[in-house]
Chains A and B, each alone.
Chain A
Amino acid sequence: AQSVTQLGSHVSVSEGALVLLRCNYSSSVPPYLFWYVQYPNQGLQLLLKYTSAATLVKGINGFEAEFKKSETSFHLTKPSAHMSDAAEYFCAVSDSGGYQKVTFGTGTKLQVIP
């Protein structure tokens, strides 16, 4: 079985500060890993994904994440927070095979303080 754990259900940062959202995964096979963002009353939008190529993955809106197998982590970062980054972020994992059944974490709400 595969799973992800997101540390911190709420994170607050000041505008312009570093954003760090933590995600640890558990998978019995090489995983594919994803970060999604969800704005209020909207569906999920893919930020970035790791599919066993480069371990440092760059996504949209200036976000990036690094796959660290030794730490089973896939933390999401952005050097400088913008007010528009305020949203809920979900880490997710799927098996490196099959049909892309995705297991999501419980989410982290990011608040950006002006």
Chain B
Amino acid sequence: GAGVSQSPRYKVAKRGQDVALRCDPISGHVSLFWYQQALGQGPEFLTYFQNEAQLDKSGLPSDRFFAERPEGSVSTLKIQRTQQEDSAVYLCASSLVMGDPDYEQYFGPGTRLTVT
């Protein structure tokens, strides 16, 4: 079956532009996570949704970052007024249920954002 998909796969933005990154989770998955992976680093947690509710946004680095999942399926990560330090791969993951590690997180291929 289809896995987690993300679009676009690559995005180049000029500093100061706004960007929107899309995540299509696996159908029926309740939990959705966003991670930021800087070059040479491990992924870092940004935010978590349970269905349409954003339960944790403690990892968002600034108020320029905003995520939503209005209907409990597709999610969008928006970055306003992009800065060079926002350059990274943004990974989305989904999981069937909340809080049960027997249900693994499935990761998408990521969106590589380059801010010039």
Contacts and interface: CB of A to CB of B under 8 A. Distances in A.
B50 A43 contact: no
A90 to B, nearest CB: 5
A25 interface: no
A42 interface: yes
A51 interface: yes
A105 B15 CA distance: 29
Contact of A104 (B42, B108, B110): B42
B101 A106 contact: no
B41 interface: yes
Contacts of B41: 106-107
A77 B69 CA distance: 39
A70 interface: no
A94 B42 contact: no
A40 to B, nearest CB: 11
A97 B100 CA distance: 8
Interface string A33-45: 0001000011111
B50 A46 contact: no
Contacts of A105: 42
Contacts of B108: 43
Contact of B42 (A51, A90, A101): A90
Interface string A8-22: 010000000000000
Interface string B74-105: 00000000000000000101010011111011
Contacts of A96: 101
Given A103-B45, A104-B42, 13 more contacts: A42-B109, A43-B109, A44-B107, A49-B104, A98-B99, A99-B56, A100-B95, A100-B99, A100-B101, A101-B33, A104-B35, A104-B43, A106-B40
22 contacts: A42-B109, A43-B91, A43-B93, A43-B107, A43-B108, A44-B43, A44-B93, A45-B107, A46-B104, A49-B104, A51-B101, A90-B42, A99-B31, A99-B98, A100-B95, A101-B45, A102-B33, A103-B45, A104-B42, A105-B42, A106-B40, A106-B42
